[in-house]
Structure 1
């Protein structure tokens, strides 16, 4: 096998956190994309990633739920902890099978304590609000996270799927290190407001689903032979009525990749990397060969003309369907009540 691409180290945000330029999304190892994968194979993949220089591991308490953090905890045993930066999240639960978002102080603290125990670590490097609780002022949620930082249980704080106003309000309570939002060739709604806000405040950007949940890896084939519990069946762009139309996006990107001598996934991922040095995507995979391929995206160079050409293939007027199955819980609807309302309650 050819030597793997050397992974640069970058500063994520302006608070001091340093991570690999590309991370590893671990969700699919345990949940959402079909059945959990064999634990020994996933631990082998995590160790391979770390040895390859990808040290920024992304998880959440809701993945499984809980089993993904347990998996990573096992992978970190035996001296691996000091080699990695662990990002985890809280805020989403399914108590009655229905998605619930919580950001109240008691819940924040309970989630952190539980994640630390499952991961088997003393502190979480980057702790995100996974989704915004629109009933709790963001100042209250981040205020409790600030206490966790002061207690040494969390090093840095992040937000996921938060709008510009929420980011500013949170940052005023405690510096936000990173914002994790969906960002890919065909999911670009954060570019007008969120990206400029993050850059103004010195906040790093962590794109999740940079390969469109596998669409930019294999195109329409990603939907073949899925298990009943695979969440991708619920995503509008991947439903049959839209997928037939959207396959033209994949075909155009694939043709350009062939001209450049790289894979379609590498080209789509390289586009995300070219958004800036403050951008650290976290593509997920469950296979070492796919991980190695994703790593190769770091070597793909794109000119401004090529960037524009790629963007034209997946513009909003070309793509059919919403980017997320739960758009109501994304940054578009992440405003929270004013702090004064909480004090009066």
Structure 2
């Protein structure tokens, strides 16, 4: 597995990381035994960036990662965690909360769940509009000084917010949805800002929440408790139109003798981002990691651009309530 520096200020991470969210929540039934085996296999194959958040469960995903970390050399693993969504100790999600007192309390709780004494990369999961971002980042900067956090990031922030945060303490990374299905950062100033400031890009949902795998052919493919049943891009006419895009991606992948997932991940990596595809099964993990060996030619990029340009996908990426938390 090739390693790269995450921006000019961040840690050295594997070209592809692993998103752990789906191992605990949102995507149907879970199996901790298989999930832990998947994390073990990822580490064996050279993945060192493992991504979680206090809100995944809540807490359950952090606790799962804590089990995976047990007995391992902590310095070999880059643990990314997130805060900014207030959660009671009983696991009740309240609202966005970027206040310094909450951030400090949340990190101490996360460290207990993770069974570690520091987090390598700590993100503001969402930006609280009620709290100046300078105050939130200033609080995490204090935690850096105390050794509880190594690097700081923000997630789903505007270019202006990124600049304001970076002025308080250098950001190592910005995490945002980025894929052939979601290319908004190329057109809202975020990509240019990251390049200018030397901040790394971490792409979550690089497979369009599984759509780009080519394995989803109907909304009925989802379990009853899979949240994608309420995702606008998987609804009605949007689903049908987006499936047309996937068919074209599958065609290009077939011509290149790779899977659609591998083509989609190779494209994200070609853009300079560190992709963190989520999976809870070893077979999909191995397929995804093989994308790090895929080289895209100029002709490949042109063909992909033709079938999946910005704006090709129909529907918002979250419900109206979820969309309201973006671009903080």
TM, length-normalised to structure 1 = 0.90
1:127 shift after superposition: 0.2
- Please tell me whether residue 256 in structure 1 is matched to residue 264 in structure 2: no
1:308 shift after superposition: 2.6
Going from structure 1 to structure 2, the CA distance change for 1:241 and 1:29 (only over 3 Å counts) comes to: same
1:104 shift after superposition: 0.5
1:15 shift after superposition: 1.8
The number of aligned residues is 323
d(CA) in 2 for partners of 1:221, 1:52? 30
d(CA) in 2 for partners of 1:311, 1:303? 12
Offset from partner CA, 1:121-171 (integer Å, 9 cap, x none): 010000000001011000000010000000000000000001100000000
Contact kept, 8 Å, 2:231 with 2:318, in 1: the verdict is yes
2:127 aligned residue: 132
2:56 aligned residue: 63
- Give the secondary-structure state (helix, strand or coil) at the position aligned to 2:131: coil
d(CA) in 1 for partners of 2:122, 2:271? 24
Show structure 2 runs of 5+ residues with no match: none
Show structure 1 runs of 5+ residues with no match: 1-6, 335-345
Offset from partner CA, 1:44-85 (integer Å, 9 cap, x none): 111110011001000000001100000000111112423210
1:316 shift after superposition: 4.2
2:230 aligned residue (225, 228, 234): 234
2:3 aligned residue (6, 9, 13): 9
1:305 shift after superposition: 2.9
1:4 aligned residue: none
1:177 aligned residue: 172
Contact kept, 8 Å, 1:101 with 1:131, in 2: the verdict is yes
d(CA) in 2 for partners of 1:56, 1:316? 28
2:283 aligned residue: 289
Going from structure 1 to structure 2, the CA distance change for 1:143 and 1:109 (only over 3 Å counts) comes to: same
2:78 aligned residue (61, 85, 88): 85
Going from structure 1 to structure 2, the CA distance change for 1:240 and 1:8 (only over 3 Å counts) comes to: same
d(CA) in 2 for partners of 1:47, 1:168? 37
Q: Which moved more, 1:219-228 or 1:119-128?
A: 219-228
1:303 shift after superposition: 1.8
- Give the secondary-structure state (helix, strand or coil) at the position aligned to 1:221: coil
The 5 A counterparts of 1:198-237 are 198-221=194-217, 223-237=219-233
d(CA) in 2 for partners of 1:94, 1:113? 13
Going from structure 1 to structure 2, the CA distance change for 1:317 and 1:126 (only over 3 Å counts) comes to: closer
TM, length-normalised to structure 2 = 0.94
Going from structure 1 to structure 2, the CA distance change for 1:317 and 1:8 (only over 3 Å counts) comes to: closer
1:14 shift after superposition: 1.3
d(CA) in 1 for partners of 2:218, 2:269? 23
Contact kept, 8 Å, 1:220 with 1:243, in 2: the verdict is no
Q: Which moved more, 1:223-232 or 1:63-72?
A: 223-232
The 5 A counterparts of 1:264-275 are 264-275=260-271
- Give the secondary-structure state (helix, strand or coil) at the position aligned to 1:19: strand
1:52 aligned residue: 45
d(CA) in 2 for partners of 1:144, 1:19? 25
1:285 shift after superposition: 0.5
- Give the secondary-structure state (helix, strand or coil) at the position aligned to 1:220: coil
Contact kept, 8 Å, 1:219 with 1:247, in 2: the verdict is no
1:97 shift after superposition: 7.3
1:161 aligned residue: 156
Going from structure 1 to structure 2, the CA distance change for 1:199 and 1:316 (only over 3 Å counts) comes to: closer
- Give the secondary-structure state (helix, strand or coil) at the position aligned to 1:185: coil
Contact kept, 8 Å, 2:96 with 2:128, in 1: the verdict is yes
d(CA) in 2 for partners of 1:316, 1:40? 39
2:314 aligned residue: 320
